[in-house]
Chain A
Amino acid sequence: MDELLREFLTETSEHLDTVDVELVRFEQDPNNEKILSNIFRLVHTIKGTCGFLGLPRLESLAHAAETLMGRFRDGLPVTSNAVTLILATLDRIKEILAELERTAAEPEGEDVDLIGELERMASADETTLLAEAAAAPAPEPEPVEAEEPPLDVPPLARELKPGEVTLDDLERAFLEAPGPDEDFTAPAPMPAAIVAEPAPVAEAPKAQAPKVDPAKPEPAKAEAPKAEAPKAEAAKPAARAQAKDNPSQENAAAGGENVSKVQTIRVNVDTLEHLMTMVSELVLTRNQLLEIARRHEDNGFKVPLQRLSHVTAELQEGVMKTRMQPIGTAWQKLPRIIRDLSSELDKKIELVMQGADTELDRQVLEVIKDPLTHMIRNSADHGIEAPAERRAAGKPERGNIRLNAYHEGGTITIEISDDGKGLNFDAIRKKAVDRGLGTEAEIERMSEAQIAKFIFHPGFSTAKAVTAVSGRGVGMDVVKTNIELIGGTVEIKSEQGKGSTFTIKIPLTLAIVAALIVAARDQRYAIPQVAVLELVRVKKGSDHQVERINGTPVLRLRDRLLPIVPAAKVLGLDGADADAGDEGFVVVSQVGRQRFGILVDGVFHTEEIVVKPMSTKLRHIPLFSGNTILGDGAVVLIIDPNGVAKMVDSGKAEQSYGFEEPAETEATEEVETVTLLVFRGGGESLKAVPLSLVTRLEEIDATKIEWVGGRPLVQYRGKLMPLVPADPTIHIKSEGTQALVVFSDGDRTMGLAVDEIVDIVDDVLDIELATDRSDLVGSAVVRGRATEIVNVAHYLPLAHEDWTRGGPPRIANLSRTLLLVDDSPFFRDMLTPVLKAAGFKVIATGSTEEALQVLAADKRIDVIVTDIEMPGRDGFALVEAVRAQARLHDVPVIALSSGVTPEAIERARRLRISEFVAKFDRSGLVAALAETQPDVRTSLGEAA
């Protein structure tokens, strides 16, 4: 049963308890407002909770009772009839609660009888009430309710002593109340107490049928002990027996019978969990036995073992079933949430839920509960449009959110679809560019499916973003993380103007999964079977062979190219060189819409594995979702296809077709692309500068340019920014707009005046050096056109004379020698002035070999700054070589890299590389250098 409902039951029975007692006190002391308001408050609370939980029957009952009590508060005389009626109502509520407790659903039926009576009494004024009392012995038509007889109570009472609080009534009320009281206050477990509740009510009819009211107290009293019988079953038959006396009760009684047929027993969840663990261990042991039996062909164990295997399988299934819960329990709150949101947002929304009885492991259920709620909320908030908007779009005013769950293979699929406005792809694109998730060009090229994925990007949907994107918002990254945590996936399909569909696929259970055991080099790994679509054997020269595009492996599979991830490579295993990895098996997997192949060296078999969580020390490695013990007792790691997919994805985002693996790739064929800002500024040819160096692009009104001492300045963000023409031939405009490329460093800013900003492109930089001009680094072919690459370092001092001399770290560093290793002359030229400015003596080299030569020449090197991605021996190789030399064992090393993976960081840490700095992060580099200085020893200690 839902936790919420359980809480509600406990709480409500407590409240009812109090109300019972208080009501009686109130009857005696009708002028005590304190008591009244207390009762009023309690009933109100019950009403509110019922409404919240979607229990309309209880709610309306409580509401009617509340209304009547409201009238008391307004001065209506407190008649015994009224109190009796309210008590009868309370009894009815208790009965419904008991049913609720048993079946977790509000029983069918109506309470028009009681409600009508309550309403009538509430709406009547004093005189009519009193007058009517006599005329209303049987105001209701033939009722369908088991509870009909209690209704008879008030009329009977009224007939006898209209409008007065009689001793009999009081006594009866008194006697009726304590019965439940005892049950509730008893320390016995709550379920039993509630279940026992209906008894007094059910007994009541018997008493009333043959006798008039004054006699009633006695039977009620007599029945009370029965009511205390701990079992529902005990109370129920009694109720049934009486039902025979009154044909009108049969309906309800029949319902009761059905319920009691299903025998249930409440078991502590911990017990189940423990059972599950034990079964998991049993499965393991069975697997081990099977493994042993496999090795000894001819033994007598075979048959019993087979039986054991069967029994274990059945036991496993059985235990799994005990943990299953219908997904509907996670949906219970949703209609209410939608109802609230509808009124809050002034939208008309209908929630359709299908497949609520689809069962899944309670552990899984717990995990997806919040994400589901969140997504429904999002659909209502951002998906469904306002009624007017919908009308304008030719859609029905009432928006529709569908929730559908069904089994599919070993997974559960949950679809959340709305017929709202769909994702606003343009806004997401824009936002993605704003957030620097890719360049404009890259994002422009992405498919809608890829764009949609951005909404799962962490932080993509801050509060601000929601308004800007006007799409899906808050916390979708959390949704995705939660779902992926349990090995699930989320997909989005969205059509603008027509709505969006989120498809969540989650495994049935987390504890035991079928997994494919594969080998990468000499180690075995498990890949969850759910993620495996097919296996393809790849071999050189066969139909299926791994081909390479620019060093990145792909496989032609049914006329489509499948990106291949060599397992040995992503795992950073040794010997993962390009060629050896091309034979073996490709495990074709799909995560979301991303299909990819994991290249492994061998495939063994599938096995049911018990997933054990990763040690906290290893949980940061995204490639593994857990570990397990195989039949032969070996521990193997479970590869998380989501983690692998991320590598595929991030590779795509970088437009390099490969995987974000700068550290692990044999950089020979790796070509690095650089995002360049292309502009015109003097001369015929285009000029370009790495975009990452640029702070902003501006177009300013030329009239705002001021000339101070012959130098152009502009007020920019509250400061004066010097302008420097990109070329001496450029004349800074005096009217119209002036395009500026703004560079900044710390709080210094300069504007490079250019003629026109042309484009932002991504290209491989192959620079031919130009040595004669300091304003250019050289020239390169960008997008097929010769382009001059501007040396920003040349302009900076023109704007601020002290630029290159500034910076506090400089003074202390003066004597230190720095070895800069970078294969790209562009970066060497870019960084040398920066490093010099930071006060280092810089020796720049272009390769690992060259660097080692410099180091071997016994030069004193205080710090090494090296690029990681270099052709031939990469930066890691260099650092390895450096660390191998005793003399250089402690030299601080700072690594430059354009993309950093956890693996790279890990490797860096092993090599005691002090810091990873992005290639263009000048201030980061300077800061990192400053840190290497004060106490080399401690920083090394920390790093290692």
Chain B
Amino acid sequence: MIAANQNDTARDGRLSGDLEEFVTVMVADQMFGLPIDRVHDVFIASSLTTVPLSPPEIAGLLNLRGRVVTAVDLRRRLGLTDRPTAGDVMAVGLEHKGESYGLLVDSVGEVMKLSGETHEPSPVHMDPRWVKLSHGVHRLEGRLLIILDVDAVLAFDAEARAA
């Protein structure tokens, strides 16, 4: 499918001729895509240090090769129920304003190259919270891929204060 996509755009040279690459992650059976240039690494989030009194979105702090990474639970960020506690949690390493974050997800999938062709703005009736955090949707075969706006996802600080 990826190859097909690639060929299509290469031939047609459509308006967004560039292919964008996304790392796909699964959260509560929904597939999300993160722009690959924002993803530093993917790791297992183990031995989390919870931070008392912290915003609920923050799952804790963890040591990633000598750096302290703030783990943000994507489920909580999206207003979903907490994942059933079992086994290791996967995290996607991101950087935002010079700080390291780990976005906790259910699982990490593949890297997809997508063209603008399949991209659409978020449906109007989507949960407004999700709309705020996303950059539209890609129509894939059989499923939809919501593109996450990394900066918006990690910008809960200001939002929380406003509320």
B-contacting residues of A (Cβ < 8 Å)?
A: 281, 284, 523, 571-573, 612, 615-618, 621, 623-624, 627-629, 633-637, 902-903, 906, 909-910, 938, 941-944
CB of B97 to closest CB in A, whole Å? 7
A944 near B79 (CB under 8 angstroms)? yes
Which of B51, B58, B128, B129 sits near A624, CB closer than 8 Å?
B51
B66 near A635 (CB under 8 angstroms)? no
Report 27 cross-chain contacts, Cβ distance below 8 Å, ordered by A residue: A281-B66, A523-B49, A612-B68, A615-B58, A615-B61, A615-B68, A617-B72, A617-B156, A617-B157, A618-B54, A618-B58, A621-B52, A621-B54, A624-B51, A627-B68, A629-B68, A633-B63, A635-B61, A635-B63, A637-B51, A906-B53, A909-B55, A909-B160, A909-B163, A910-B56, A941-B79, A943-B163
A906 near B55 (CB under 8 angstroms)? yes
A909 near B58 (CB under 8 angstroms)? no
A-contacting residues of B (Cβ < 8 Å)?
A: 47, 49-56, 58, 60-63, 66, 68, 70, 72, 79, 97, 99, 101, 128-129, 156-157, 159-160, 162-163
Q: How far is the CA of A621 from the CA of B55 in the complex (A)?
A: 10
Chain A residues with CB under 8 A of B55: 617-618, 906, 909
Chain B residues with CB under 8 A of A637: 49, 51-52, 61
CB of A291 to closest CB in B, whole Å? 13
Chain A residues with CB under 8 A of B68: 612, 615, 627-629, 635
Which of A572, A616, A635, A906 sits near B49, CB closer than 8 Å?
A635
Interface-centre pick from B53, B79, B101, B157 (highest chain A CB count, 10 A): B53
B63 near A941 (CB under 8 angstroms)? no
Question: B-side binding surface: helix, strand, loop or mixed?
Answer: mixed
Q: How far is the CA of A623 from the CA of B52 in the complex (A)?
A: 9
A942 near B51 (CB under 8 angstroms)? no
Chain B residues with CB under 8 A of A621: 51-54
Given A617-B70, A629-B66, A629-B68: A571 and B56 within 8 A (CB)? no
Q: How far is the CA of A571 from the CA of B58 in the complex (A)?
A: 15
Q: How far is the CA of A938 from the CA of B54 in the complex (A)?
A: 23
Chain A residues with CB under 8 A of B53: 571-572, 621, 623, 902-903, 906
CB of A283 to closest CB in B, whole Å? 11
CB-nearest residue of chain B to A911? B56
B56 near A618 (CB under 8 angstroms)? no
Q: How far is the CA of A944 from the CA of B49 in the complex (A)?
A: 23
A616 near B157 (CB under 8 angstroms)? yes
Q: How far is the CA of A612 from the CA of B79 in the complex (A)?
A: 30
Given A629-B68, A633-B63: A938 and B128 within 8 A (CB)? yes
Chain A residues with CB under 8 A of B61: 615, 627, 635, 637
Chain B residues with CB under 8 A of A944: 79, 163
Chain A residues with CB under 8 A of B128: 938, 941
Q: How far is the CA of A628 from the CA of B156 in the complex (A)?
A: 24
Q: How far is the CA of A941 from the CA of B66 in the complex (A)?
A: 36
CB-nearest residue of chain B to A568? B52
A909 near B157 (CB under 8 angstroms)? no
Given A618-B58, A909-B160, A941-B129: A636 and B70 within 8 A (CB)? no
Chain B residues with CB under 8 A of A617: 54-55, 58, 70, 72, 156-157
Chain B residues with CB under 8 A of A573: 52
B63 near A629 (CB under 8 angstroms)? yes
Q: How far is the CA of A583 from the CA of B156 in the complex (A)?
A: 39
Given A571-B53, A621-B54, A941-B128: A616 and B97 within 8 A (CB)? yes
Chain B residues with CB under 8 A of A616: 97, 99, 157
Chain A residues with CB under 8 A of B49: 523, 627, 634-637
